């Protein structure tokens, strides 16, 4: 078949235009595909890398220094075994959520707390109870303008309880995300996690990564009246004097890292109180001290109260350089109290952020509130965070 020169020129011009159009379309499509995942990943990474400074608000301290925190966990909402929310004069509270938001702080409502294990287990054992509880909690989050949920079940540690815990965590995660879309706001779900590997082993990594923004690991209460030795309840590093299996903040966090949970999904707990023993020295046996404690032998108490023991009652501070914690010794030599002070909190905070963890949290924020209105332990921790992370 023969074509005229004019027709051939026209056909070639058409093909060139078509090729240029296809090239432009291909370049646009590739650019769209490249930009969308990068933008999404960048946003996700930014959220995961945002350091947190969390305070647990329990009851109502005389003053809340909101500028210390990125997040507050408002404790606690509880329920009976049928999932019916118990009345509480402190939680929920719209004035607290409004004050937090005015200061640029996110505030989550905490569910449960110590001593509510049986109620949680009963709630998840019956669909109607779980449904009643879940709907009531989400209604509180929505109507009182909380920014999410802190799940504080202490602790799901049987096969039956774990199944219920996982189902509840997934349900809350799904419903919080849906609520966030309606409000056009980020919604958070965290949990208060044990520091004991024997309890932590029940929690699956995949579930935690799927449902939790981060874990608040309760790296305290490692010793107390239930142990047969007078150990520090929140040592940064393990003591060679401790009987039995060593325990410490470092070892608990290491266990979770070895389970495959990234450091940026873990927050380290710092207590604002101490634990006391009726013995003459740390790590002594408490067998002979059982039943000897009376009202004159402090059980420990908040940092603010322990400071008064030093100033007014002549209790002596001594430093344990192995665990990086202080102890108080009674003037009569019959009691010791392990606690945290500015020196140990500074070291814990520095260690936390240098290890790449998501942040720190404190139980509870009124524990170091002094008469002058300051929170010296939390303040020094926040200063360390700002210095080391650029916040």
Summarised one tens digit per residue, pLDDT across range 156-169 is 999 999 999 999 99
* Pairing assessment for the beta strands 273-277 and 71-77 based on DSSP bridges: unpaired
Residue 327 domain flag = no
Query: What average pLDDT does the segment 357-369 reach?
Result: 98
Summarised one tens digit per residue, pLDDT across range 243-266 is 999 999 999 999 999 999 999 999
Q: Measured between alpha carbons, how far is 288 from 346 in angstroms, rounded to an integer?
A: 35
Q: Measured between alpha carbons, how far is 92 from 78 in angstroms, rounded to an integer?
A: 11
Residue 366 domain flag = yes
Q: Measured between alpha carbons, how far is 306 from 328 in angstroms, rounded to an integer?
A: 8
Residue 37 domain flag = no
Say which CATH number the domain at 173 has: 3.20.20.80
Q: Which two tokens stand for residue 217?
A: 């690991």
57 closest CA partner among 42, 76, 43: 76
Q: Measured between alpha carbons, how far is 388 from 118 in angstroms, rounded to an integer?
A: 41
Predicted pLDDT at 388? 96
Contact 92, 76 (CB under 8 A): no
Residue 57 domain flag = yes
Using a 10 angstrom Cβ sphere, with 0-12 exposed, 13-18 middle and 19 or more buried, the burial of residue 89 is: exposed
Range of the domain at 161: 50-271+340-389
Q: Measured between alpha carbons, how far is 49 from 332 in angstroms, rounded to an integer?
A: 49
Residue 209 domain flag = yes
Query: pTM, whole model, 2 decimals?
Result: 0.88
Residue 288 domain flag = no
Mean pLDDT of the chain: 89
In the chain, the number of structural domains is 1
Summarised one tens digit per residue, pLDDT across range 49-104 is 799 999 999 999 999 999 999 999 999 999 999 999 999 999 999 999 999 999 99
Predicted pLDDT at 2? 45
Angle at 140 between CA 137 and CA 146, to 5 degrees: 110
Angle at 62 between CA 294 and CA 91, to 5 degrees: 90
What is the helix, strand, coil percentage profile of the chain, to 5?
Answer: 45, 20, 35
Residue 26 domain flag = no
257 closest CA partner among 205, 199, 193, 323: 205
Using a 10 angstrom Cβ sphere, with 0-12 exposed, 13-18 middle and 19 or more buried, the burial of residue 344 is: buried
Residue 8 domain flag = no
Q: DSSP letter at 229?
A: B
Contact 249, 235 (CB under 8 A): yes
């Amino acid at each position: 078949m023969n074509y005229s020169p004019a027709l051939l020129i026209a056909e070639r011009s058409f093909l060139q235009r078509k090729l240029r159009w296809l090239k432009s379309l291909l370049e646009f499509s590739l650019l769209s595909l490249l930009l969308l995942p990068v933008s999404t990943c960048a946003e996700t990474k930014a959220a995961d890398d945002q350091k947190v400074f969390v305070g647990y608000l329990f009851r109502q301290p005389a003053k809340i220094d909101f500028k210390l925190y990125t997040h507050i966990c408002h404790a606690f909402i509880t329920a009976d075994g049928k999932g019916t929310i118990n009345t509480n004069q402190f939680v929920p509270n719209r004035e607290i959520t409004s004050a937090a938001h005015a200061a640029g702080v996110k505030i989550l409502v905490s569910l449960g707390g110590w001593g509510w294990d049986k109620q949680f287990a009963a709630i998840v054992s019956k669909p109607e109870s779980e449904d009643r509880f879940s709907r009531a909690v989400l209604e509180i989050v929505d109507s009182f303008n909380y920014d999410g949920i802190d799940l504080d079940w202490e602790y799901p540690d049987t096969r039956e309880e774990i199944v219920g815990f996982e189902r509840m965590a997934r349900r809350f995660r799904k419903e919080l995300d849906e609520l966030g879309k309606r409000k056009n706001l980020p919604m958070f779900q965290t949990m208060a996690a044990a520091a004991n590997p024997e309890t932590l082993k029940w929690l699956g990594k995949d579930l935690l990564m799927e449902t939790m923004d981060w874990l608040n690991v309760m790296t305290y209460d490692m010793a107390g009246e239930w142990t047969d030795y007078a150990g520090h309840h929140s040592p940064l590093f393990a003591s060679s004097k401790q009987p039995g299996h060593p325990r410490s903040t470092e070892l608990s966090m290491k266990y979770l890292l070895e389970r495959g949970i990234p450091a940026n999904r873990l927050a380290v707990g710092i207590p604002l109180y101490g634990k006391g023993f009726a013995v003459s020295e740390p790590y002594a046996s408490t067998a002979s001290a059982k039943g000897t404690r009376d009202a004159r032998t402090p059980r420990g108490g908040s940092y603010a109260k322990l400071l008064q023991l030093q100033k007014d009652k002549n209790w002596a501070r001594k430093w344990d350089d192995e665990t990086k914690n202080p102890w108080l010794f009674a003037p009569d030599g019959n009691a010791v109290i392990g606690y945290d002070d500015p020196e140990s909190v500074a070291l814990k905070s520095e260690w936390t952020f240098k290890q790449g963890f998501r942040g720190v949290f404190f139980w509870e924020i009124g524990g170091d509130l002094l008469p002058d209105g300051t929170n010296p332990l939390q303040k020094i921790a926040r200063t360390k965070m700002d210095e080391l992370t650029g916040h």
